Amino acid sequence: MTTSHPAAMAASNANAERSLREEFRRRFGVEPRIFRAPGRVNLIGEHTDYNQGYAMPAAIEFSTWVAIAPRDDAELHISSLNLGEERIFGSDETVPAHDWTDYVRGVAHVLGAGHGTRAGANVVLWGNVPLGAGLSSSASLEVATAVALLGISDCELDREEIALLCQRAENEFVGARCGVMDQFIAAHGEAGHGLLLDCRSLQYKLVPLPSELTIVIANTMIKHRIAGGEYNRRRAECEEGVSILQRFLPGIRALRDVSLEQLEEHRAELPPVLYRRCRHVISENARVLRFAAALRSGDCSGAGELMLASHESLRNDYEVSCRELDTLVSLAQKAPGTAGSRMTGGGFGGCTVSLVRNAKVAEFQDAVAEEYNRIFGVRPEMYTTHAAAGAGEVTREE
């Protein structure tokens, strides 16, 4: 079981940065610049971003670091210290490799074409966002790469543009039809705050998270992959739901524009599965707004009930949960100190997020991990975090 105390995290992040810098110097003989972007946990608002709805993610204290220096030629040399792999790409190679390098090359490609960033660079990567756990290790790699390439090219882009470009790289180069939430929070995270995001206008409000609660993430240890068919199928189902509803509600552009009353009124026109998919999205949008209001008024138990309702809707209507996620949520509900718990991210494995009273975090983790291990024969990794800051350059410690 992994636990992280903020002070310990800061120390280990500083060590990571130092080792990355030393490794870069050893390999290339020059001083790199270092950029970082965090992973994320979504507190509420799941599968709403690509329906132009609301979500409330927070950046976590786990990141991807990019050490970078320009090259004289146009080659991109990318190494991953986590994977122990190094790859070289010429500027004429524009075809995806269908592996981890696509996140870096996709961003380089989109930024190079649109903003003339440098093509040639030496890049060394290291990260501690758990891979394939639904905590957006890929968005953190994309956004860290974007700020790094912009940094060495002396180009400035605002954070919204960075998020949109990274989403485009993932949609077009990597081939996953994700929404904008993950890249947006990696670029905009603020310590101590959740970010209430309107995924249509991209306007956002920072919502302070209660200082008496810690975010505890529990990993089912089942890897998920959103390039997989189910995610894209859910998106297509939502689009189909909108096009059927548009026959009766011509003014709507997305499920964001439909109320639960309107959905009920036209229920008979929708196949049952599409009706349930739409009901999840529409009810989830309303829960996000109520969740933000509950946090603002200090109503932690109201916020917790909304997290549970979100999980149930994802399980029953959207059908993106699985037995392991459901088990973690029900164990969390019985554990000491829990305000709320739900699956987080795309689903089909990955992690749950729980808000737990600070004084009970250790007991909570022990109770959940032990029981999960007894049922599934595997210990779930647990990560504690507070909401963290978004992407930026890491200045060298003197």
Identity of the amino acid at 38: P
Q: Are 387 and 7 in contact (CB under 8 A)?
A: no
Residue 338 CB, nearest distance to ligand GLA (Å)?
22
Minimum CB separation from ligand GLA for residue 345, in Å?
5
| C-alpha distance across the termini of the chain, in Å | 33
Q: Please, is 161 exposed, middle or buried when counting C-beta atoms within 10 Å of its C-beta (0-12, 13-18, 19+)?
A: middle
Cβ proximity to ligand GLA: between 121 and 176 the closer is 176
* 99 among known catalytic residues: no
- Report the run of H or E that residue 377 belongs to, with start and end: none
Closest distance between ligand GLA and the C-beta of residue 226, in Å? 5
DSSP label at residue 135: S
Cα(239)–Cα(366) distance, rounded to whole angstroms?
42
Give the integer Cα–Cα distance in Å for 137 and 36: 12
Catalytic residue among 49, 102, 182, 317: 182
Q: Are 218 and 382 in contact (CB under 8 A)?
A: yes
Question: What is d(CA 307, CA 316) in angstroms, rounded to the nearest whole number?
Answer: 14
- How far out from the chain centre does Cα 203 lie? 18
Q: Could you tell me the smallest distance in angstroms from the CB atom of residue 367 to ligand GLA? A: 28
Residue 46 or 61 having the CB closest to ligand GLA: 46
Q: Look-up: residue for tokens 């050490």? A: 67
| Residues at the interface with ligand GLA (CB under 6 A) | 42, 46-47, 49-50, 178-179, 181-182, 226, 345-346
Q: Closer to ligand GLA at the Cβ: 161 or 363?
A: 161
Q: Which is nearer to ligand GLA, 46 or 190 (CB)?
A: 46
Closest approach of ligand GLA to the CB of residue 313, in Å:
12
* Closest CB 49 distance from ligand GLA, rounded Å: 5
17 or 49: whose CB is closer to ligand GLA?
A: 49
Burial class (CB in 10 A: 0-12, 13-18, 19+), 127: buried
Sign of CA dihedral 173, 179, 183, 186: negative
Q: Which is nearer to ligand GLA, 46 or 317 (CB)?
A: 46
Q: Distance of alpha carbon 160 from its chain centroid, rounded?
A: 16
- Active-site positions? 182
